[in-house]
Amino acid sequence: MIERKSLELLAPAKNLETGVEAINHGADAVYIGGPAFGARAAAGNPVEDIEKLAAHAHRFSARVYVTFNTILFDHELAEAERLVRQLYEAGADALIVQDMGLLQLDLPPIALHASTQTDNRTPEKVRFLQDAGFSQVVLARELSLAQIREIADQTRVNLEFFIHGALCVSYSGQCYISHAQTGRSANRGECAQLCRLPWTLLDEAGQVLAQDRHLLSLKDMNQTANLRALVEAGISSFKIEGRLKDVSYVKNVTAHYRQQLDRILEDLPDYRRASCGRSEFFFTPQPQKSFNRGFTDYFLNERQTGIGSFLTPKFAGEPAGKVVRFGADWLEIDSPLEFHNGDGISFFNIKDELVGVRINRVAGGRLYPAEPVPGLQAGTAIYRNLDHEFEKLLTGKSAERRIDVDLRLSDTADGFVLTVTDEEGIGATASMTCLKEPARDEARARTTIAEQLCKLGNTMFRAGNIHLDIACGWFIPVSALNALRRQAVEALEAARAAAYVRPAKAMALSPPVRHPEKMLSWQGNVSNQAARSWYLEHGVNEVSDAYECNRETGQVPLMVTKHCLRHDFGACPKQAKGIRPEPWRLVRGQDGYALRFDCKRCEMQVLGELKKVRSKKH
């Protein structure tokens, strides 16, 4: 029998609570930051919480991946090695890494995933990482279906792809503007998010093309409509962005994609879920109600217009209709939505600034805001950025996850034995010794026995098939049946815990495979001697220091991005004949950055230099 391929829904976890809820809402795996060295410095967690999360996830054969994806300096390697051992002992299933210096350390046999920060865009790069010992590779968000298919056709490693959430405008791992401007490096988990700020765009003649617009801010990814195409292209892990997102966001978005993937799995018998158990939701998932900047499928179906969120990097909300009338302290909206006390609404004023306000009271079709709302006009488009009733559903218990089990009660010479077998084929038994006496009403007795065995209550199991392999309808006290059932369930939980096996660490080929590039510039992000040695062992002839080592003092590409402002402003040479890609500039206050357009690669570069060379020693 051919083993079915598994599809993994991978959800983010800001902390233990969020990770537990991600599992409860259907995630096959979660990724979470440990105490240090994760690419979201603000989302670190103690090892003890990683251990608790792993214990909960493993109950459902789900996995916990720890983000270890910053670049490291030499003095940090010893601490990194110690922490990896602690995480492995805590039950972590894999590390998501960027710095190859880690592979030179004395690590436990933990699986390694190549972070999107390693800039994984080509079959050659992904195949190299596969042969170097990575079991999963996170692909660049900018890839098209054709590019993903090409990578999948030439590799055998598990491929992971972002399907939802915030988009970095630069290729991941290739953004240095934060370090150049503030000293806070994105590759060190400290991104200052300058891309979300307003900028002014000037053409080659100095004319203003756009004033104070969020020109580097993108909409959020949403690949709902493309999930099946991604499966067919070769993606096996579907990743939701959001390690800084709150628990209600993770609940809502995870539940949405769980439902979407389950529908796909029903039509694809060659595929299966990567974990077990089914989640029952006590709400209807609606991703448009959780924070987003508008949605795009980015470059998955090739380049398109409208991927930017130029007006605001904030959450405007779901479209709610237009203002038809308003007074000093009220407004009426022509809307298909039902508003509630406590809702939040927003609109863009005449300056295209996003204005938000809370609704105190809804009465007779009128909304009464908590404060005056200047700038409203008839016809103003209104958005709802907080659905109070929906958030109340997510605040409480909004899902429960259970594993289906079959129960079989059989006769023994001196009593009964109960066998419980789960959907993964793991089983356990419990037996009881008792006097066996036929019931007066044997049919009713059989019904009572089956009903009692089904009562799995607050356990992690849900009764499936009930088999009564008994000679007759015995009289068995309800208390005895309950005790037998509890013993069998406890034994099954123990059996499941004993049967769980963490993913094996992939073995690197020997001798070491050659890296696709012979020279690594500062964009290779090598910041320690261990990483330098690793690359040299893998055929790289020359390795430069990472930008964070502050060796580059001239103007360099601080961003490399597939997002192109010339395309967005109708000045793409490929679209309009006779236009040359002259340099444009982005300006904010005293800061200015030249834009360089690589039309052959269809990329834009944001050029700049270190604001000042920092004396910090690494």
- 523-558 per-position pLDDT tens digit: 999 999 999 999 999 999 999 999 999 999 899 999
Topology annotation, domain 5-167+219-281+283-289: TIM Barrel (3.20.20)
- Least confident stretch, 28-37, 369-378, 496-505: 369-378
Number of Cβ within 10 Å of residue 328's Cβ equals 6
516 preceded by a cis bond (ω within 30 of 0): no
List the chain domain ranges: 5-167+219-281+283-289, 172-217+552-618, 316-395, 404-499, 514-549
pLDDT for 440-462, tens place per residue? 999 999 999 999 999 999 999 99
Structure tokens at 314: 């904030």
Helices (H), 372-501: 388-395, 442-454, 478-499
The amino acid present at 8, given as its one-letter code, is E
**Residue 384, phi-psi category: left (phi > 0), alpha (psi -120 to 50), beta (remainder):** beta
Helices (H), 439-561: 442-454, 478-499, 529-537
Phi and psi, residue 218, nearest 5°: -105, 160
Predicted local distance difference test score (pLDDT) of residue 618: 52
Structure tokens at 564: 């192109």
Most confident of 290-294, 349-353, 599-603: 290-294
Pick the CATH number of 316-395 from 3.40.1830.10, 3.40.50.620, 2.40.160.40, 2.40.10.170: 2.40.10.170
Whole-prediction pTM value? 0.96
* In the predicted structure, residue 144 carries a pLDDT above the cut 80: yes
Please compute Rg for the chain using Cα positions. Answer: 28
- Least confident stretch, 37-41, 571-575, 587-591: 37-41
22 sits in which H/E element: helix 16-24
Contact 187, 98 (CB under 8 A): yes
* In the predicted structure, residue 613 carries a pLDDT above the cut 50: no
